[in-house]
């Protein structure tokens, strides 16, 4: 794997040096009868290989060496072919909007998935790449920006996605079909701080917080599905530098429009920003990370494309930890490696297929007192998704996947969680868990149901099979939508979702190899209103019933006796208030309880953050100067209080005595972030962005948790990641 990364990196570097062509660039968007974006349209120059297939948002972009008079063609089943005569010149940039007419001259009803957000119009409430870039406090990170949406609970300041009261492991992350189980940097027991996926590599994103498609399996709560860019249309270099690190990007077309390379590398070193903001004393090793992503994308025909994406990411940190029995340092390291080969093509004029073949590896090391644990997670996966267009309206989606995953844990763990001092009683572990899962689905999109043009449905079924555990389940899912008018829709959704619990719970000695999958039933009702392309409003009610959750058992270690629920309402409004002011406001209310794992009684979930409010606004002061604000408010999350202690003479340590499970809450979470950005052309040609960002401007001490005196009679607050005001500034230059 390392050799392959080196080969690709060297190849990309050579390409960057030798490329000197200046072809013409042709880009634009393809729409249908009602100006809705049309995906999968073939746009090409007649008689050549120069062209591309439109993305989910209807956009296309390609380069060509052809000059003079040519024919630009756009075609897709169900629509009349479009032909336009162009007169091309070398090095010129051309932009076109193409509108295709339906052969049946019928209005196509848009089918919207439940609880969906993404970069694609027509598939849910839109969150654009510019939204990700401009969100203050988000570090242009997809995960941190997603946490501003309703349905995502502000449990901590980590990048992990807590969806509607669910554990982060109940949300699946995909990249071009490959599964990402550890997409974070600085991963610890409190989660990872940022994503290790560079936003520059992402072309499209779809996120759902419930009622999602049968396309996604072995997941209870949420889905984040991302797609990488295709071949770059023109050469671009970007250099960024700030107090916390720097980055370098190079996007270069090769061999005309048929092949392209994208390389994005980042290196963070937080020493300067910690020094400036007075927080360097909290660390024994300043947090630092580095990652490099390389994407090679090529077209072998008008519709066929092959992509190879590779990622290597590493990080390291050392943090002072204060506990009742021990003050020491937590040392953490992790590594993430991914290789994904992705193929897509229009097999026939009605059938489009995409296949992914991926391998990933995660390694992690945690050290704190007697704790010395190495972890590894290896995943091998093949996945195929297909779409069959019965007509310009009806569409069948189907596919299958096979995944083999192994976990290993090696090292030493403390026998008691209240005594982790060096030399404390501990157990040496060296275990490995492995298993394979196969799954498949079929789903039919039905606009104009029963002859009613305003009525639509999505109905599907999914199966998953765990070979080693001999577990097989089928999950039906359905969404009904009714277009109240030209810009508003009412939707209802029902679905069954199942997922295997933590693999460690299947251990014969510590768990139960006969555990069944966890199950959740989703009920959703929603109203969407979109008076314009840049203005959206959504209100959504949901209810989730959990059963077959793992629960401690005196004889079996664990059984499937756990249960719970999550219910609430999500509201979001997004748009432009004034010509220079735009943004969104989101609010989520959640009420969730569970009895599972070590819960002795029915109690609030650890992720039961009742109220979540986010306000994002950007204001364009001038064409070159913009400012943004990000305000978050959340109810304090629950925790189990310590009510006393018992002295353990044999260990010379106090054991805490706990009150009722999750019966108290931390203080409410509040944070205000500001960003100032200045755009200008350096030397008349280099587009440059200067930025200044202030995180937690009001210097509010949001809590991570509590630490206690030796006998637990007194407690002291532990600050969150950004528990004090933090200022960062930097610059990015496009060459």
Could you report the per-residue pLDDT of 204-229, keeping only the tens digit for each? 888 899 999 999 999 999 999 999 99
**Rounded to whole angstroms, how far apart are CA atoms 104 and 77?**
11
Domain CATH code at residue 407: 2.40.170.20
Length of the chain: 735
| Lookup: tokens for 210 | 């419930």
pLDDT at 60: 86
* Separation between Cα atoms, residue 520 and residue 12, nearest integer Å: 46
Q: How far from chain centre, in Å, is Cα 688?
A: 28
Specify the pLDDT at position 204: 81
**CA–CA separation, 246 and 240 (whole Å):** 5
Tell me, yes or no, whether 107 lies in a domain: no
Same domain, 698 and 653: yes
Of 10, 3, 11, 42, residue with least CA distance to 254:
11
Average pLDDT estimate for 479-485:
90
At residue 479 the predicted structure's pLDDT band, cuts being 50, 70 and 90, is: very high
Does 688 lie in the same domain as 628? yes
Nearest by Cα to 123 from 213, 198, 7 = 213
**The last residue of a domain, from among 41, 73, 99:** 99
Residue written as tokens 């765990």? Answer: 466
705 C-beta neighbours (distance < 10 Å), count: 14
Last residue within a domain, chosen from 99, 133, 165 = 99
**Based on the domain organization, do 140 and 46 belong to the same domain?**
no
At residue 9 the predicted structure's pLDDT band, cuts being 50, 70 and 90, is very low
Domain match, 411 and 364 both: yes
The rounded distance, in Å, linking the Cα atoms of 221 and 548 is 15
pLDDT at 139: 67
111 in any annotated domain: no
How much of the chain is in helix, strand and coil states, percent to nearest 5? 5, 60, 35
Neighbours of 664 (CB within 10 A): 12
Reported as a pLDDT band with limits 50, 70 and 90, residue 10 is very low
Give the three-state DSSP class for 530. Answer: strand
Tokens of 253: 């077309």
Separation between Cα atoms, residue 85 and residue 673, nearest integer Å: 50
Q: Is the pLDDT of residue 2 over 50?
A: no
The per-residue pLDDT of the chain, averaged, comes to 86
Among residues 617, 722, 712, 620, which one has the least CA distance to residue 669?
722
Q: Which residue has the tokens 């607050």?
A: 717
Q: How far apart are CA 379 and CA 309, in angstroms?
A: 16
Whether residues 410 and 374 share a domain: the answer is yes
- Quick one: pLDDT at residue 497? 97
Separation CA 596–CA 552 (nearest Å): 7
Residues 304 and 398 in one domain: yes
- According to the model, what pLDDT value does residue 5 have? 36
Token pair recorded at residue 727 = 């200022």
Residue 130 belongs to a domain = yes
Over residues 462-473, the mean pLDDT reads 94
Do 565 and 705 fall within a single domain?
yes
pTM above 0.75, yes or no: yes
Write the pLDDT tens digit of every residue in 150-173.
888 888 778 888 999 888 899 999
Q: How confident is the model at residue 615 (pLDDT cuts 50, 70, 90)?
A: very high
Q: Where is pLDDT greater, at 135 or 587?
A: 587
Check whether 533 has a pLDDT greater than 70: no
Note down the domain range covering 200.
Answer: 116-734
CATH at residue 22: 2.60.40.1120
Q: Is residue 142 part of a domain?
A: yes
- The answer to whether 482 and 463 have CB atoms below 8 angstroms apart is no
Q: Is residue 109 part of a domain?
A: no
Paired with 153 in beta bridges are: none
* Burial of residue 642, with CB atoms counted within 10 A of its CB: 0-12 exposed, 13-18 middle, 19 or more buried: middle
- pLDDT for the residue 482: 92
Q: What beta strand segments (E) does 415-517 contain?
A: 426-447, 455-466, 471-483, 488-499
Flag whether 104 is in a domain.
Answer: no
pLDDT exceeds 60 at position 399 = yes
The reported pLDDT for the residue numbered 21 is: 42
Confidence of residue 448 (pLDDT cuts 50, 70, 90): confident
The yes-or-no verdict on residue 657 having pLDDT over 60 is: yes
pLDDT value of residue 114: 55
Judge residue 358's burial from the number of C-beta atoms within 10 Å of its C-beta, 0-12 exposed, 13-18 middle, 19 or more buried.
Answer: buried
Write out the two tokens for 303. 């519709």
Among the listed residues 512, 510, 387, the one whose alpha carbon sits nearest the alpha carbon of residue 443: 387
Question: 345 or 234: whose pLDDT is higher?
Answer: 345
Q: Is residue 377 located within the same domain as residue 505? A: yes
Least confident window among 9-18, 78-87, 638-647: 9-18
End-to-end CA distance of the chain: 32
Residues 634 and 560 in one domain: yes
**Mean pLDDT to the nearest integer, 105-123:** 47
Residue 524: pLDDT band with limits 50, 70, 90: very high
Q: Is 441 helix (H, G, I), strand (E, B) or coil?
A: strand
pLDDT of residue 12: 36
pLDDT single digits (tens) 679-715: 887 776 677 888 898 889 998 888 888 999 999 999 9
Does the structure show a pLDDT above 90 at 512? Answer: yes
Q: Find tokens 């004090």 and name the residue.
A: 724
Which of 376 and 283 is assigned the larger pLDDT?
A: 376
> Does 181 share its domain with 240?
yes
In this structure, the answer to whether residues 374 and 298 fall within a common structural domain is: yes
Reported confidence tier of residue 20, pLDDT bands at 50, 70, 90: very low
Please indicate, yes or no, if residue 722 is contained in any of the structural domains: yes
Task: For residue 5, give the nearest of 277, 336, 353, 499 by alpha carbon.
Answer: 336
Task: List the beta strands (DSSP E) in 255-326.
Answer: 259-269, 283-299, 305-322
Residue 425 near residue 448, CB atoms below 8 Å: no
pLDDT above 80 (res 588): yes
Count structural domains, the chain: 2
For residue 269, being part of any structural domain is answered with: yes
Last residue of a domain, one of 99, 126, 151: 99
CA-based nearest residue to 48, from 301, 346, 306: 301
- In this structure, the answer to whether residues 534 and 644 fall within a common structural domain is yes
Give the lowest-confidence range in 281-285, 312-316, 487-491. 281-285
């Amino acid at each position: 794997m390392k050799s392959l990364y080196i080969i690709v990196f060297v190849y990309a570097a050579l390409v960057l040096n030798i490329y000197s062509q200046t072809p013409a660039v042709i880009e634009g968007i393809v729409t249908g009868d009602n100006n809705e974006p049309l995906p999968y349209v073939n746009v090409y120059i007649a008689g050549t290989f120069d062209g591309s297939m439109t993305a989910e948002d209807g956009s296309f972009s390609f380069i060509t060496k052809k000059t003079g008079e040519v024919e630009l063609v756009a075609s897709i089943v169900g629509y009349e072919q479009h032909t336009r005569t162009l007169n091309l010149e070398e090095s010129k940039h051309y932009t076109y909007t193409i509108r295709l007419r339906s052969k049946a001259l019928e209005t196509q009803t848009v089918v919207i998935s439940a609880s969906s957000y993404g970069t694609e119009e027509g598939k849910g409430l839109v969150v654009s790449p510019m939204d990700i870039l401009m969100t203050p406090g988000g570090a242009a990170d997809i995960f941190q920006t997603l946490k501003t949406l309703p349905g995502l609970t502000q449990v901590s300041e980590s990048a992990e996605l807590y969806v509607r009261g669910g554990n982060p492991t109940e949300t699946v992350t995909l990249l071009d079909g490959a599964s990402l189980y550890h997409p974070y940097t600085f991963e610890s027991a409190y989660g990872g701080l940022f994503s290790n996926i560079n936003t520059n590599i992402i072309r499209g994103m779809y996120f759902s917080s419930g009622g999602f498609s049968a396309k996604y399996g072995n997941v209870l709560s949420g889905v984040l599905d991302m797609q990488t860019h295709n071949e770059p249309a023109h050469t671009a270099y970007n250099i960024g530098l700030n107090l916390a690190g720097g980055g370098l990007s190079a996007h270069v077309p090769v061999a005309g429009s048929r092949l392209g390379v994208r390389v994005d590398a980042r290196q963070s070193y937080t020493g300067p920003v910690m020094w400036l903001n007075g927080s360097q004393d909290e660390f024994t090793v300043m947090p630092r990370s580095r990652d490099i992503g390389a994407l090679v994308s090529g077209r072998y025909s008008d519709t066929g494309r092959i992509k190879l994406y590779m990622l290597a990411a590493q990080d390291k940190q050392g943090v002072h930890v204060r506990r009742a029995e021990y003050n020491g340092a937590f040392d953490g390291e992790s590594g993430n490696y991914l290789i994904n080969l992705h193929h897509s093509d229009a097999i026939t004029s009605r059938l489009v297929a995409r296949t992914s073949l991926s391998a990933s590896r995660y390694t992690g090391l945690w050290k704190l007192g007697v704790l010395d644990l190495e972890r590894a997670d290896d995943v091998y996966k093949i996945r195929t998704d297909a779409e069959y267009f019965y007509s310009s309206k009806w569409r069948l989606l189907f596919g299958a996947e096979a995944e083999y995953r192994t976990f290993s844990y090696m090292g030493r763990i403390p026998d008691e969680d209240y005594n982790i001092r060096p030399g404390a009683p501990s157990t040496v572990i060296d275990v490995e868990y492995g298993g394979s899962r196969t799954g498949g689905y079929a789903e039919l999109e039905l606009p104009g149901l029963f002859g009613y043009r305003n009525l639509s449905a999505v109905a599907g079924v999914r199966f998953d099979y765990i070979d080693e555990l001999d577990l097989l389940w089928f999950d039906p899912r359905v969404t009904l939508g009714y277009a109240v008018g030209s810009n508003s829709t009412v939707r209802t959704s029902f679905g069954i979702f199942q997922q295997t619990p933590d693999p460690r719970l299947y251990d014969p000695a510590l768990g139960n190899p006969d555990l069944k999958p966890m199950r959740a039933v989703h009920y959703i009702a929603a109203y969407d209103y979109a008076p314009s392309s840049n203005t959206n409003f959504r209100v959504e009610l949901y209810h989730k019933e959990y059963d077959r959750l793992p629960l401690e058992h005196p004889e079996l270690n664990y059984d499937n006796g756990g249960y719970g629920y999550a219910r609430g309402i999500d509201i979001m409004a997004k748009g432009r208030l004034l010509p220079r002011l735009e943004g969104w406001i989101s609010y989520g209310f959640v009420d969730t309880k569970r009895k599972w794992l070590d819960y002795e009684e029915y109690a609030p979930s650890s992720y039961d953050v009742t109220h979540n409010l986010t306000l994002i606004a950007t204001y364009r002061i001038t064409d070159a100067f913009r400012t943004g604000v990000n305000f978050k408010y959340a109810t304090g999350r629950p925790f189990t209080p310590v009510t006393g202690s018992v002295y353990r003479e044999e260990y010379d340590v106090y054991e805490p005595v706990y009150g009722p499970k999750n019966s108290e809450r931390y203080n409410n979470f509040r944070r205000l972030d500001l960003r100032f950005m200045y755009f200008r052309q350096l030397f008349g040609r280099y587009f440059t962005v200067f930025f200044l960002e202030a995180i937690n401007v009001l210097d509010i001490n949001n809590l991570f948790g509590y630490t206690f005196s030796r006998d637990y009679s007194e407690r002291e607050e532990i600050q969150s990641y950004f528990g004090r005001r933090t200022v960062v500034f930097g610059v990015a230059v496009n060459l």
